[in-house]
A and B are shown apart, each in its own frame.
Chain A
Amino acid sequence: MLGELNRVLAAGDTGELFRLVLPYAFAVIPVIIVVHLLISLVFRGAPAERKRWNLWDILIYLGTLGCVGGLAATSFVEVLRHGELGGWPLFLHMCGAGAFTAVLPLLVLSWAHLNQFEVGPATGKTAPAKFYWLPKLMFWVIVAGGIVVTMTMLVSMLPIFGTDGMLVLLDLHRYSGLIVVLALVLHLYGVAVQRMGLR
C-alpha cells in the first residue's frame, strides 16, 4: 500500500491517488458507526422526543439519498473499476448532478432550521428537535460539501481556469463528493439510530 502510494505520489497522478484513497475512506465509516453504536448502547438513556417526519421531509430525504447514491455509484464504482470516469457512466453522473443541484436548495430551505445547534442549556420551552447532534452535523457537512462539489464543476464549465486549475478543481470535486457521500451515510445511520430509539 505504502509503496504504491509513494509511486502514485511520485508520478503526481492525483486520479490514481483518489482511487487508492477511496476504499480506505469507506472503510473508516463502519469503524465510526461501530464505535458510535457501542457508546450509544453503553450510555443509553431514555430516547428523546423527536418531531415526526412529514411526507415532504421524506420526499426531500429520499431525493437527496437517490441523487447522492446515484452520483456515488456512477463515479466511485467506475473509478474503482476503470480508474476513470467516462462514457455512459459520466453521462449518468451528469444527469444525477443536475438532479442534485435541484434537490440541494430544497433540502436546505426545508431542513436548515431543523438542524440548528442549540447554544447553551435547553430552556425546556422549545419544541422537541427533529435530529440529534450527529445528523445535524452531517446535514451541514452535506450542505457545505454539496456547495463545493457543485461549484467546482460549474466553475469548470467556464473558461476561467487552465488545465492545472481544472485538475485542482477536479480533485476538489472528487474529495468533496466523497465527503458528501460519507456524510450522508453517517446521516442515514444517525437517523436510523434515532428511529430505533437509541437516541
Chain B
Amino acid sequence: MSRYSLITILLLAATSVNLAQGADESRFTKTNSRSQYVHWIDLYDAGDKRIDPTAETAPPYSPQFTCGRCHDYKAIVTGHHFNGIDKTSSAGRPGEPWIWTDERTGTQIPMSYRGWMGTYDPGALGISTREFVLKFGSHLPGGGPGEAVPPVPEKAGEAEAKAAEESKEAIEAKRWKLSGLLNVDCMICHSNDHAYSQEVWWNQIQNENFAWAATAALGIGDVEGKVSDLKDDFDPATAAADSKEKLPVTKYNLARINGEKKVFFDVILKPDNNACYYCHSTHAAGEHAPADWTQDEDVHLRAGFSCADCHSNGIAHHTVRGFEGEVHPTGEDVATLSCRGCHMNDEHGGGRMGAPKPLHKGLVPLHFERLSCTACHSGRKLEGEAELIQTSLANGLGLPAHHVGDVPPGIKAPVLVRDQGMLYPHRAVWPAFWGQMSGETITPLNPEAVYEATRRTFRVKRGSNLSETIMDVKLNASDKQEALGEERAKVKEEELTEEEKAKLEELTATRARENWQQTLVGGLTAVKELITAEGAEPVFVSAGKVYKLSGEKSVESFEHVAAEPYLWKFAHDVRPARESLGVGAKGCYDCHSLGAPLFASTVTAVGQTPDDEPVSHAMHELAGYDKLKLDVWALSFLGRPAFKYYGYAAMGLVSLVLLAYVLRGIASVLGLIHRK
C-alpha cells in the first residue's frame, strides 16, 4: 500500500467518524438561517407511519411524528406552555390560573397543576386530565393534560375487577383510545397563513376528536364524524365499513398537496402576535368599561415589537416570562428581557432592541425600591375602583360568543399588592365553590359532583344560571297586597306610580335575598352527602366570604383564607411614559395626595351569587400600607411648593452671606500680602 493510499484511507476513516458524529448531533434539523424554511413535508400519523394524504382512509396527521421528525418534540413538551402537569418542572412565579367556572352552581375555582398558592390541583378535586381538556381545550395548545392518559389500576378480585372496569378511569381509558392524544399543536402558534382556526380546534376537542384537531384546525383537511357520538365500547376494528358508527374520517385538501404527496405548511419561526393574543388577551368589562376602540395597545407593540421579541425561547420552548429575577431553566441570563433589565440595566446589556433609558427626572430613587415598573406603567389607570376585566383563558375570548360584562368569572384589575416590599399590579379572582370544612381547612368538592347533588335543589333552567334563578322572583297577590294595599294591588303594573313600582322592586329584592338564603340552606344540605372527611361540614365560598349552616334553616357567613382572592401579577398593556403615574400636570400628586387612586381605590369582591354587603377593601389595606402615614405624607406635599420657594430663598441668603465673608477674607489676605 502506498503512502498516499494509507493517508487517503485514514482521511476517509476520519471523515466517516466525523460524519457519524455529525449525524448524531443533527438528528433534528436546523437551517441556522434567518430566512424561513419552506415546509413541503410528509405527514405522519400517530403510529409514526407516513400518510398518503390522497388516500380515502388517510388518518389525521400527528404533530408529534410529523413536526417531531425534524424538531425535538420531547424537548418542546418541556416548555412552559406544556409542562404545567409535569411535577418535576419549576412552578415559576404564580400566573393566571385555569378557572373552573360553572354558572349552574355559582362555581369558579382557580386551578393549576403547578401548585401555585391559592390554586387547586385539578387531580385533587377529582378532575381527570380528560375532563380538564374537555373543559379548557379551547385555549390549550395541546400536550400536558392532552397527552396524560392515566393508567387504569388493575384489580385482583373478580368483583373488584368488574368495579374497576366500570370505573371512571376505565371508561376514560376507552375513550382516550378512541379520541387519540391531543398533541402539542405546533401550528397553533407557528402557522403563518392566518387560516389556522382555533374555533375549529375547539370544536374538534368538544367532539372528542383529539387526534383530528390539529388537521382540521390547520385547514389542510376536513374531518367528518365525532368520537363523542361513539359508545365507550366501540371497537373500530370490528365495526362494519358501512356502519354509521365509525371513527372520524379525514379528507385532505388536495390544493395543498404536491406531486410527491407532500403537504405545504406555511410555518413561521417566530409566532405572530395574533397567535399569542388568542390566549393572552384582556378585555375591559363591566358597567363603565371603555369602548375597545378607545383603547391603545401596549406601547411596545405600537413601536413595532412582537410578543416573541421579549417572550422568546429556544427549541425547549422555555418561553421567557420577562419578570425581574426570573431564573431561566436553560441557565441563560434573561435579566435584560425584564422591564428594568432592558430599560435601566447598564451593566448587563440593557438597551436591547433600542430600549431607551428613562430619565425619571425628579423621581426620588427610593421609588425604584418600593414600586415595580408596572405599578406606574401598566394596565388602565385606577379611577376609584378596580375594574372588571375578562381574559382569554377565563372567559373564552377569541371565540364568537355574547360576552358581556358580568359573564363569570369576575376578575378585577388592577389590584395593587406588595410582594417582598415591592408594589405590583395584580389581577384578582375570588374563588367560589361548594366545599367541606374540616377544622380550619376548607377544600372544594368536585364541581361536577356538586352539580349532580344540587341539581334538584337549585333547578337552574338550561341557558340560565344560579344567580338568575335566585333573582327570578315573582311576587304573588299577597306580596303585592302587603306592599301596596288591597286596592292598589289589583291595579295593572303599567298603571302603578313610580313610588309603588319602587316598593315592589324593594319587595322583590327582599324576596330574592330570602330566596338566596333558602337556596344556600338547600345547597349546603344537598352537598352534605359529598362530604368525605370525618366531622367536616359543608360550606359555600363566594366573593370573599364563607357560608355555613348555623341552624336548620339559617346560614352564617365569615371570612376565611380560602375565600381570599387569588392574585397574579400582570405587566401588559404598558402605557407610554407620558401616561404613567407621576407624569403630567399632577406629577407627584398622582400618588401623594389625599384620596390618591393608587391607595384609595377600592376592590370589591365578585362572585356569582347575590350579596348585599360585598367584601370591599381599599387598595392601601390590601397592600398593607399605614393609612395615617399615607395621609400625613400626602398632607406634607401640600406645603411642598411653598417650601421649595422658601428653601431657595433661604439658601440664596445663606450663600450670599457666605460669599460676602469669603470675599472679605480674600480681600484681607490680599491686603496683608500687599502690606508685607
A60 CB to closest chain B CB (Å) equals 14
Contact of A163 among B365, B629, B658 (CB under 8 A): B365
Question: How many angstroms from the CA of A101 to the CA of B639 in the assembled complex?
Answer: 14
- Tell me the complex Cα distance, A163–B370, Å: 15
Restricting to B610-637, which residues have a CB under 8 Å from any CB of A?
629, 632-633, 636
Specify which chain B residues have a CB less than 8 angstroms from the CB of A27 in the assembled complex.
none
Q: Check B56 for interface membership: any CB of A closer than 8 A.
A: no
Across the interface, B362 reaches (CB within 8 A) one of A95, A144, A156, namely: A156
In the complex, chain A residues whose CB is within 8 Å of the CB of B28: none
Does A26 interact with chain B (Cβ within 8 Å)? no
Which one of A48-56, A81-89, A175-183 is at the interface? A81-89
Let me know if B633 and A163 touch, CB within 8 A: no
- Decide if B648 is an interface residue (CB 8 Å cutoff): yes
- In the complex, which residues of chain A have a beta carbon less than 8 angstroms from the beta carbon of B657? 108-109, 112, 143
If A101-B647, A105-B650 touch, does A86 touch B366 (CB 8 Å cutoff)?
Answer: yes
Tell me which residues across on chain A come within 8 A of B587, comparing CB atoms: 159
Contacts of A157 in B (CB 8 A): 362, 640, 644
Residues of A135-189 whose CB lies within 8 A of B: 140, 143-144, 146-147, 150-151, 154, 156-163, 166-167, 170
Binds A, one of B121-129, B301-309, B665-673: B665-673
**Complex partner residue of A166 from B358, B364, B653, CB under 8 angstroms:** B364
Q: CB < 8 Å: which of A102, A117, A156 contacts B364?
A: A156
Judged by a CB distance under 8 angstroms, whether B3 is at the interface is no
User: Which residues of A lie under 8 Å from residue B632 when comparing CB positions?
Assistant: 91
Residues of A within 8 Å of B668, CB to CB, are 119-120
Q: Is the CB of B655 within 8 A of A159?
A: no
**Contact of A154 with B651 at beta-carbon distance under 8 Å, contacts A94-B636, A112-B661, A117-B665 already known:** yes
CB contacts (< 8 Å) of B358 on chain A: these are 162-163
Q: A116 contacts the other chain (Cβ, under 8 Å)?
A: yes
In the complex, are the beta carbons of A101 and B651 less than 8 A apart?
yes
Contact between B646 and A101, CB atoms less than 8 A apart: yes
Name A69-100 residues within 8 Å CB distance of B: 84, 86-88, 91, 94-95, 98
Interfacial chain B residues near A163, Cβ < 8 Å = 344, 358-360, 363, 365, 368
In the complex, B553 has a CB within 8 A of chain A = no
Question: Does A104 make an interface contact (CB < 8 A)?
Answer: yes
Contact A150 B633, beta carbon cutoff 8 Å: no
Contact between chains at A147 and B654 (CB < 8 Å)? yes
Residue of A whose beta carbon sits closest to that of B344: A163
| A-side contacts of B671, CB under 8 Å | 119
User: What total of chain A residues lie within 8 Å of the partner, measured CB to CB?
Assistant: 39
B622 vs chain A, min Cβ distance (A): 18
- Set of chain B residues within 8 Å of A112, measured between Cβ atoms: 657-658, 661
Residues of B within 8 A of A84 (CB): 366, 369
With the chains together, A98 CA to B657 CA distance in Å? 20
A156 to chain B: which residues have CB within 8 Å?
362, 364
| A116 surroundings in chain B (CB, below 8 A) | 661, 664-665
Nearest-neighbour CB distance to chain A for B218, whole angstroms, equals: 49
The answer to whether the Cβ of B643 comes within 8 Å of any Cβ in the partner chain is: yes
Chain B 336-378 interface mask (CB, 8 Å, partner A; 1/0) = 0000000010010000000000111111111011100000000
Chain A hits for B643, CB < 8 A: 98, 101
Please name all residues of chain A whose beta carbon is closer than 8 Å to the beta carbon of B361 when the two chains form the complex: 159-162
Complex alpha-carbon distance, A27 and B429, angstroms: 55
Give the complex CA separation of A94 and B361 in angstroms. 20
| Distance in Å: Cβ of B228 to nearest Cβ of chain A | 59
Bound form: Cα–Cα A143–B647 in Å: 15
A146:B364 contact, CB within 8 angstroms = no
Whether B636 pairs with A150 at a CB distance below 8 angstroms is no
A143–B358 Cα distance when bound, in Å, is 35
User: How many Å lie between the Cα of A150 and that of B369 in the bound state?
Assistant: 23
B636 and A88 contacting across the interface, CB-CB below 8 Å:
no
Closest residue of chain A to B676 (Cβ to Cβ) is A120
Closest to A109 in B: B657
Pick from B365, B368, B651: contact of A147, CB below 8 A: B651
With both beta carbons as reference points, the residue of chain B lying nearest to A163 in the complex is identified as B360
When C-beta atoms are compared, the residue in chain A nearest to B653 turns out to be: A105
For chain B, the bracket of interface size reads 35 or more
Q: Which residues of chain B come closer than 8 Å to A162, judged between CB atoms?
A: 358-361
Complex CA gap A170/B365 in Å reads 9
* Contact partners of B364 in chain A: CB under 8 A: 156, 166
| Contact indicator A166/B363 (Cβ below 8 Å) | yes
Name the one of A119, A150, A160 contacting B647, with C-beta atoms under 8 angstroms: A150
Bound-complex Cα distance A12 to B654 (A): 34
Whole-angstrom distance between the alpha carbons of A156 and B367 in the complex?
Answer: 13
* A154, B365: Cβ atoms closer than 8 Å: no
Q: With A119-B668, A154-B647, A157-B640 given, is the CB distance from A146 to B654 under 8 Å?
A: yes
Report whether B669 and A160 are in contact in the complex, using a CB–CB cutoff of 8 Å: no
Closest B residue to A12 using CB positions: B347
Q: How distant is A100 from chain B, measured CB to nearest CB, in Å?
A: 10
Contacts of B363 in A (CB 8 A): 163, 166
Question: Are the C-beta atoms of B636 and A151 separated by less than 8 Å?
Answer: no
Chain B residue at minimum C-beta to C-beta distance from A104: B654
CB neighbours (8 Å) of A105 from chain B are 650, 653-654
A156 to chain B: closest CB distance in Å?
6
Q: In the bound complex, do residue A108 and residue B658 qualify as a contact, i.e. CB atoms below 8 Å apart?
A: yes
How far, in whole Å, are A119 and B344 apart by their CA atoms in the complex? Answer: 53
Q: Are B629 and A91 in contact (CB under 8 A)?
A: yes
B661 contacts A158, C-beta separation under 8 Å = no
Smallest Cβ-Cβ distance to A158: which chain B residue: B362
Residues of A within 8 A of B647 (CB): 101, 150, 154
A87, A91, A120, A167: the one contacting B636 at CB < 8 Å is A91
Also in contact, A108 and B672, with CB within 8 A (given A154-B648, A156-B364, A157-B362): no
Docked-complex contact A102 and B633, CB < 8 angstroms: no
B629 touches which of A88, A109, A119, A144 (Cβ 8 Å): A88
A3 to chain B, nearest CB (A): 21
**Bound state CA distance, A106 and B653, in angstroms?**
10
State A96–B85 Cα separation when bound (angstroms). 57
| Contact residue among B362, B646, B651, B672 (Cβ-Cβ distance under 8 Å from A119) | B672
**How far is it, in angstroms, between the C-alpha of A88 and the C-alpha of B631 when the chains are bound?**
12
Specify the chain A residue showing the minimal Cβ separation from B643. A98
- Give Cα distance in the complex from A140 to B440, angstroms: 67
Residue among B344, B633, B647, B669 facing the most chain A CB atoms (10 A cut-off): B647
Residues of B within 8 A of A95 (CB): 636
A147 to B654, CA, bound (A): 7
In angstroms, how far is the closest chain A Cβ from the Cβ of B335?
15
With known contacts A94-B636, A143-B658, A157-B640, A120–B672 Cβ distance under 8 A? yes
Closest chain B residue to A161, Cβ basis: B361
A63 to B646, CA, bound (A): 18
In the complex, what residues of A have CB within 8 A of residue B640's CB? 157
Task: For A109, list chain B residues within 8 Å (CB).
Answer: 653, 657
Across the interface, which residues of B come within 8 angstroms of A166, CB to CB?
360, 362-365
Q: How many whole Å from B674's CB to the nearest CB in chain A? A: 11
What is the CB-to-nearest-CB distance from B594 to chain A, in angstroms, rounded to a whole number?
Answer: 15
Which residues of A lie under 8 Å from residue B368 when comparing CB positions?
Answer: 163
Of the listed residues B344, B364, B369, B668, the one surrounded by the most CB atoms of chain A closer than 10 A to its CB is B364
A-B contact pairs, 10 of them (CB 8 A): A86-B370, A88-B629, A119-B665, A119-B669, A143-B654, A147-B651, A150-B650, A154-B644, A158-B644, A160-B361
Please give the residue numbers on chain B whose beta carbons come within 8 Å of chain A beta carbons, in ascending order: 344, 347, 358-366, 368-370, 587, 629, 632-633, 636, 640, 643-644, 646-648, 650-651, 653-655, 657-658, 661, 664-665, 668-669, 671-672, 675
Residues in chain A within 8 A of chain B (CB atoms): 12, 84, 86-88, 91, 94-95, 98, 101-102, 104-105, 108-109, 112, 116-117, 119-120, 140, 143-144, 146-147, 150-151, 154, 156-163, 166-167, 170
Closest 3 CB pairs between A and B? A162-B359, A159-B362, A119-B668
A sample of 13 more A-B contacts (CB under 8 A), given A101-B646, A108-B658, A170-B365, is: A84-B369, A88-B629, A102-B650, A104-B651, A105-B653, A119-B665, A146-B654, A147-B654, A151-B651, A154-B644, A157-B362, A161-B361, A166-B363
